[in-house]
Each structure stands twice: as C-alpha cells, then as structure tokens.
Amino acid sequence: MLNPIVSDPNDFKVVDFTNKTDFTFTPEMGCMFDGRPIFGITGAPGINGGESMKLPYHVGQRLAINLAKVAMTRQAPTLDPVGIPTGVPLWDTVKLDSLKNSYLTDLYTQEKPIAQTETERLMKQVEELNKLVVGMADKIGQPAPAPVVVEPVATVVEPSVVVPVETTPPNDVVPPVGPRVYQDKKEVIDELERRKISHDKRKSKEFLEKLLANS
C-alpha cells in the first residue's frame, strides 16, 4: 500500500506580501519562487516599492526572506570609516526574521481538502475517467432524434367548369367513310347477295371482297 500524503498545515494559507522598501524588488534580487520570476500587479517581473500582492503562504515567505536580506545588505556597513572591513555580519537570524515578518500579513486559510492516500487519489481518478468513457458511450449509442413531421397544408380546390366536347361533327361536315371490314367470308357473301352481284361462293374471301370493292 502506498504511503499517505503528508501536507504542511500552511499549504492552504493566503498572505498579503508588501514591498515596504523604496526600491523595486526584481527577480535578480530574489523576487522568484522555485526559479520562476514573480510578476507584480503591473504585469512586469518584480514588485515595486509600496506594492502589495496576495500570495500563497510559501511563496510569500520566500519573497519576504529574500527581500529582507536585500534590505539589510543595503543598510549594513561593510567597511569602517577608514575603509577596513568591519567583519560584522550583515544580519542575524532574529533581525532577519523580524524584518521578514514585517512584509507579511496573514489573510485567510483556504478550505483544506480531505487528505487522501495515493491509492485513494488514483482510484478517484479511475472513477472520473470511467465517467468520461461512459458519457462518450451514451452519446454514441443514443438514438437519432425523431424526424420533424410537417403536416401538409389543406388546399381548397374550386370546382372547375367542364365544357363538354362535341363528339358528333356538325351537320355540314360529313365524316369520311372507310371501307367496311368484314369479319368472315359469310358476311362478304351476304353483302354480295344483298347487292345482287354475281359471284362464285367457292372463291376466297379476299377475291369476293375485291368484287365488292369494284362494284
């Protein structure tokens, strides 16, 4: 089993850091945390004299210590009046700590999350990732939205006046009369007898029809 996570009680504390000097505290002087420069409220690297910023406790502590060292270095004489090194330490622990604390003001402590072991943290991550996978699966498997049915608009059709078409020709127009079509030989013979045309009943239907056509 993995070891439980050990946290500092100040991890979630927020402080107000104020540069109470008359100079700009630059990254070259130590205005940085873990090698990263701190940007002031102007957006430029460094914190101007008289400028205040809200910072996490550990960042504020580091900046305050570095600024105190710079301020005490500037104030402490390194040489005596005749130019001989004094050999006096630039600062002692008590004075340094006192000056450092003068730059900081405790503001509030953020809500501390429930302590978790590494195993608990990983299992929580497994649960969150699983929810993500299930959510994606739900989106893929969900049915397509029902098509929108547009009801047809009822239209009223006005009854139209139908003009009858004459099927019989006018009196002065005589339709052309085509040759009569006989269904069988008997009809041809009956027509020959009706017209009293001499004929030989033994002849073919075509021959007899020619007699009718030529009469």
The number of domains in the chain is 2
Poorest-pLDDT segment among 4-18, 51-65, 69-83, 123-137: 123-137
At 72, which helix (H) or strand (E)?
helix 57-75
Query: Can you tell me whether residue 205 is helix, strand or coil?
Result: helix
Taking residues 118-136, what's their average pLDDT? Answer: 71
Phi then psi dihedrals of residue 25, to 5 deg: -85, 105
Q: Which of 68, 93, 109 is the last residue of a domain?
A: 109
Taking residues 152-170, what's their average pLDDT? Answer: 55
Q: Which of 109, 135, 165 is the last residue of a domain?
A: 109
Taking residues 109-135, what's their average pLDDT? Answer: 71
Q: What is the pLDDT of residue 112?
A: 65
Q: Does residue 64 lie in a domain region?
A: yes
Cβ atoms of 39 and 45 closer than 8 Å: yes
Read off the pLDDT of residues 23-72 as tens digits, 9 standing for 90 and up. 999 999 999 999 999 998 888 999 999 999 999 999 999 999 999 999 98
- Token duo for residue 159: 């009854």
Cβ atoms of 70 and 29 closer than 8 Å: yes
Taking residues 172-183, what's their average pLDDT? Answer: 63
Taking residues 147-167, what's their average pLDDT? Answer: 55
Q: What is the pLDDT of residue 9?
A: 80
Q: Which of 75, 92, 109 is the last residue of a domain?
A: 109
Query: To 5 degrees, how large is the angle CA 133–CA 127–CA 2?
Result: 135
Q: Does residue 195 lie in a domain region?
A: yes
Phi then psi dihedrals of residue 17, to 5 deg: -105, 130
**Cα-Cα-Cα-Cα dihedral sign, residues 89, 99, 30, 44:** negative
More confident residue, 130 or 141: 130
Most confident stretch, 33-42, 91-100, 182-191, 192-201: 33-42
Q: What is the pLDDT of residue 160?
A: 56
Q: Does residue 165 lie in a domain region?
A: no
CA 207 to chain centre: 93
More confident residue, 48 or 7: 48
Phi then psi dihedrals of residue 157, to 5 deg: -100, 115
Taking residues 12-31, what's their average pLDDT? Answer: 93
Residues 6+ positions from 111 with CB-CB distance below 8 Å: 12
Q: Does residue 149 lie in a domain region?
A: no
More confident residue, 95 or 89: 95
Q: Where are the beta strands (DSSP E) in the chain?
A: 13-18, 32-33, 36-37, 52-56, 104-109
Name the pLDDT band for 186 (thresholds 50, 70, 90).
confident
Instruction: Write down the mean pLDDT value for the chain.
Output: 76
Range of the domain at 89: 13-109
Q: Does residue 73 lie in a domain region?
A: yes
Q: What is the pLDDT of residue 1?
A: 42
